[in-house]
Amino acid sequence: MDFTVLIFLTSGLFLGWSLGANDAANVFGTAVGTRMVRFTTAAVVCSIFIVLGSVLSGAGAAHTLGKLGSINALAGSFMAALAAALTVYAMTKLELPVSTSQAIVGAIIGWNLFSGSVTDVTALTKILATWVACPLLAALIAMPIYIGVQRFLARAKLHILRRDIYTRIALVLAGAFGSYSLGANNIANVMGVFVPASPFTDFTVADAFTITGIQQLFLLGALAIAVGVFTYSKRVMLTVGGGLMPLSPIAAWVVVISHSIVLTLFASEGLEHFLASNGLPTIPLVPVSSSQAVVGAVIGIGLLKGGRNIKWRVLGNISMGWVTTPVISAILCFFSLFFLQNVFNQKVYTEVHYALSPKVMNHLVERSFPVEDLSSLRNRDFTSARAFLKAIGERTYLTGYQQRKILEFAEVAKLYVDPKKVQQLKADWLSQGQLLALRKLEGRRFGFKWALADALEKLSVDWRQRPDKIENKTYNKQIKAKLGYLYRLFSLEE
């Protein structure tokens, strides 16, 4: 294992620690703040289920983050994670609950600006929209749950001691569920930027099950989160639990449950598949801020009570933290990348080349793209996506979709279908038809990603995407994920 890789991983561990120190408040803050659950109990349960969620379901809602920007150098990943971690740590020192998702989004945008990469406006808009929708949805979910629980308790007429015991148990169970969701959805924010350079390899335990290199990486990040929970999360828990509005134990339980439901809605691939298969609009899988979900749920309950007990000044400070977190993280990442590149001579990004070769031009014509005015750019080499799109914009008007597709088709790649790597692919991940198509391409080289995708489509319908309809969304997404893995697997780029 390269020692340099371990040094660069430290920023991911720091970000994991910051997440544990800050975001643990979102699942147990209300329980600890109302004195229904001791901090030690909350920390133990939270740590265990965060680790389980990270390792078992650690894919998270990272797809949209990947579209926002793909950091392609280890030193760049280090600095993006470090910038996000420092931002979250600063907010934690101010006792403000913020989200690592917000910090990572800001850091990725900072890297995009420095490297000349294009920030996907559609993906960014989707993320920003969920930052607005998340607290509102949490408030709308918390209100009926709170009313329903109050009515149930009024009819049940439980003895005060029995009610107290049930409430404590319910808070612990809700916290465990929320911790699992937190780990599953946020570990990709912590260690996801390091996945392409993971130093770990798969190994089998007693010939029973295999622990992948990615699971080992996520386990390392999850342990860092657990350390953050134990060492620094108590103060933020008390801010969420009692600083925004005094909460009863029942209200605390409602807040945690509402938070967990919102987190699940925006991260469940199973729910997305169910909605898509029934022809219903799907909920976007995006990194949701658990901090915003908790605060929204608290505000929802407060509004039910007339809003008199809500500490609006504290809410204003928290909201200001939400706005400034991605901005600070982006600025910090941008200038830190400049420092790392020019002072320490580290490679913080790998140049991506774009060229409108005759092959690309023909490919665009076949798909009815207007390329008549782009003939002067034929065979010119661009090392910046921004410069490439600027040159296109000076010659013709294209929609945002057309620009993204031309950028995708013009990206130069060095792909080699290595027979040894093909043999390592698992049959349970690829269909028989997909595997057979790959084997027919063994030894072939491709200069563009789309060229490999087209060759696979011609050899097997299993590689062919279906018409762009809601019910086909999940299927097409799986095809794109498999192709993305093949591009990384067969890449000859250093």
Q: How far apart are CA 15 and CA 103, in angstroms?
A: 10
Residue 58: per-residue pLDDT: 66
pLDDT value of residue 230 = 86
| Confidence band, pLDDT 50/70/90 cuts, at residue 136 | very high
**Which pLDDT band holds residue 455 (cuts at 50, 70, 90)?**
very high
Residue 243 has pLDDT above 70, yes or no: no
Q: What is the pLDDT of residue 262?
A: 87
Residue 213 confidence (pLDDT) above 90: no
The predicted pLDDT at position 438 comes to: 94
Q: Provide mean pLDDT across the span 346-351.
A: 87
Question: pTM for the complete prediction?
Answer: 0.81
Mean of all residue pLDDT scores within the chain: 83
Least confident segment among 258-272, 386-400, 450-464? 258-272
222: tokens are 């999850």
Nearest to 478 by CA among 457, 463, 491: 463
Q: For residues 187 and 222, is the Cβ–Cβ distance under 8 A?
A: yes
In sequence order, the β-bridge partners of residue 356 are 378
Pairwise CA distance, residues 247 & 452, whole Å = 57
Pick the more confident residue, 403 or 469: 403
Where do the domains of the chain lie?
Answer: 3-343, 354-490
Split at pLDDT 50, 70, 90, the class of 459 is very high
C-alpha distances out from residue 178 to 61, 150, 323, 383, 475, Å? 15, 22, 24, 44, 29
Q: What is the mean pLDDT of residues 104-127?
A: 88
pLDDT at 289 over 90: no
* Bridge-based pairing state of the strands 209-211 and 445-448: unpaired
Residue 196 has what pLDDT?
58
101 vs 12, 24, 64, 299, 334, CA distance in Å?
A: 13, 14, 11, 21, 18
Counting residues of the chain whose pLDDT is more than 90, the rounded percentage is: 27
Lowest-confidence region among 5-9, 109-113, 130-134, 330-334 = 5-9
Q: What is the pLDDT of residue 210?
A: 62
The more confidently predicted of residues 210 and 342 is 342
pLDDT of residue 473: 78
pLDDT at 207 over 70: no
Q: How far is CA 60 from CA 63, 340, 376, 484, in A?
A: 8, 29, 43, 17
Instruction: Give the helix ranges, DSSP H, for 119-211.
Output: 121-156, 160-191
- The contacts of residue 93 (CB under 8 Å, 6+ apart) are none
pLDDT at residue number 205: 65
